Structure 1
Amino acid sequence: MHELHFAVPMAGALLCTLNTRHDSAMLSILLSHSEAKIIFVDYQLLYIANGALKLLAKAERKPPILVLIAESDGSLPADHHIASETYEYESLLAYGHNGFEIRRPNSEWDPISVNYTSGTTSRPKGVVYSHRGAYLNTLATILLHGIGSMPVYLWTVPMFHCNGWCLIWGLAAQGGTNICLRKVTPKGIFDNIALHNVTHMGGEPSVLNMIVNSPISDRKPLPHMVEVMTGGSPQILSKMEELGFGLSHLYGLTETYGPGTSCIWKPEWDSLPLDKRYKLKARQGVQHPGLEEVDVKDPVTMASVPADGKTMGEIMFRGNTVMSGYLKDLKATEEAFSGGWFRSGDLAVKHPDNYIEVKDRSKDVIISGGENISTVEVETVLFGHPAVLEAAVVARPDSHCGQTPCAFVKLKEGYDVDS
């Protein structure tokens, strides 16, 4: 995946990184929609890809050429009958030549990649990135993360997610070393940090949750402070720093090339009580240098909400690091940019210092007896309980109030419902 992030654009083609958790049915839909000509497949995921190719053939659609990344010894899986023209990755590379002339884009606005959204509420949409946007977001993310020359980066953020938050290209620019895990586990994270002297890593809240709740036997002392880019609740941030990690809190979407804002730390916050500091760090902050503007607006009037930390509005973006649009979906693109801003669908407040704080997805707000309840805020309270490992809050129907919150909670090992 890392090599292809350079090879594909240099060949004048477009990247389309696919979620490794998709099943064959979803994969076939995305291959068809993207009109992919070639698919590169790791040998452990061959059965999923093969199922998708069979579905394409059944629908009388031409399947893409398959390039199989075999095991380290070059051998293929025992059952490798594939419903497509097939090549082996290393063998294919042997046909290359050093004199290849790079096919550069005609314009910096030409597309470099298509990234499909998760599709939790509907069919995934193909988010189109431009060379210009990827370049600017790459530089901005490097700046936000404080990545200097020759970093050692541990990958727990999937490279299929916003092109690894655009860090694949940025790490190369800084002469970085990439440490990749086939499976993300707390033990694997601590072992690799110690073995490779890791300086930086990224991690979504679920990964941080795994780390802070890992058994002592899986942990190793950190060789130095490891800088982590993440989004998460105040409780997770504080517990990570107790283990010796440095945290920078970011916010963004697939449509903003990953990170779009950062909670830039103010020196005067250092003297505040601990709980207050972490509440401030949990805010999503201000836009990064590559983005023109981010604001919290009334989605109907498009007026900016007052910076009072109370009035809710929708987070909106505009600038070079906002997507070019949704592939083959003009209607969804026009809706997303209605009013001249990209509408995130996330609800937030704006504080007096203009730092934004995300409260919820607009579709996830629970309206109970006429009052708006933020599922994120309820989850944050639940995470503050020492017995709670994971929590998710959703709305459930209620004959009196219309809706009430319903929490799904997973307890930490050693705790039971009675405790």
Structure 2
Amino acid sequence: MTRIGRWGTAALGLALMTPACGSSDADDAGEEATPIQRMPTVQNEFTPVELEETIDKLVAEINENATESMQMTVMLKTLSAFFAPIATGANRAMGEIGVTGNVVGPTKEPGDQQRDMKLQSEQIAQAVTDGAEGIGISPFGDANAAAVDDAVANGVHVVTLDTDLAASKRSIYVGTINRSAGETAGKTLLALLPPEPGTVILHGNEDPTWDDGLDRTQGAQGVLEAAGHKVVVRQVDWSDEGADVDWMKDQIETADPPVVGLLGLFNLSFRCAMAAEAAGKQDLPIVAFDFDARTVDYMREGRIEATHIQRQYYEGYLVPYILYGIKSIGLDATRRILAPQMVGDSLFNLGLDVVPGDKVDAYNEFLDSIGANE
């Protein structure tokens, strides 16, 4: 199929989340516009208070201006697993704002990256044709930059999330700043290690073609090496669990100086615990990333000490508000309000939730309270 239809279940195998209601024509009718009202903030030890305050300030500034109708689309790599809470947040925000919008993406996990990039570029062009004034996008790769630039040239605001397109003309990136995230994870593990230097295994990435993974790995590596530890990196093998576990098991059994801890930097972090178990070293400190069910199981067993969560719900929730803010009060004013979490003038750092092993249930309750469990 080469022709892209309007968004819907039949369009290129996309699944359509429940669209937000279209905004009213109160302004056109001469009536007073209804101010945006956010869902009440959940009070919890994991509630990101500073982030919530920033969103409230943005909403207050928008409400000081005449609200306008707007059409937007949020495009995700998939609507399942890691991206499901992003879709939840984006749909909720669009409903609160009252824009005409939807969240679209494949129902299955991504496959061929070149095919996926081409399809996503076609989706961007179709969204512009269909009248979108704002696009939030989790791009598959650099090949999507040209389509983003074309959209911007047609007056469409673009915000990236999860993965950035720094070389494009997008306005703002919303998500994890991977080098600082790696540094945070490195410090979490460092606090659990013995004072004498040893070998630390990173289940990470050394492939220079994957910038985000490399930045996260190098951030953690820098912290641990600065403390005097020897760091060895296992290049994550997404398809071969056995190869990952066997490599790390061998390091645990033979490394000099001995292995004193392991750090997993992606959602397959539980493989670190599998390797320690295979080597008969269940007492090694292990720190993880993301909230995979198997990672949670190992945390409950006391085998993984802590994990780091990327706040996917807020990633999705912020994007419609930022797009609407850019239209309503302008890009510069929006950036000024977002400044407490901005790195430079275009990177919005969501931060991380650091979840200790004994807080798994509390964190699950928090996710459930905002509808953000995967």
- Pair in the same fold by TM > 0.5: no
TM-score by length of structure 2 reads 0.33
Q: Larger % of strand: which?
A: 1
Q: Which has the higher contact order (CA 8 A, sep 6+)?
A: 2
Whichever structure has more helix as a proportion of its residues is 2
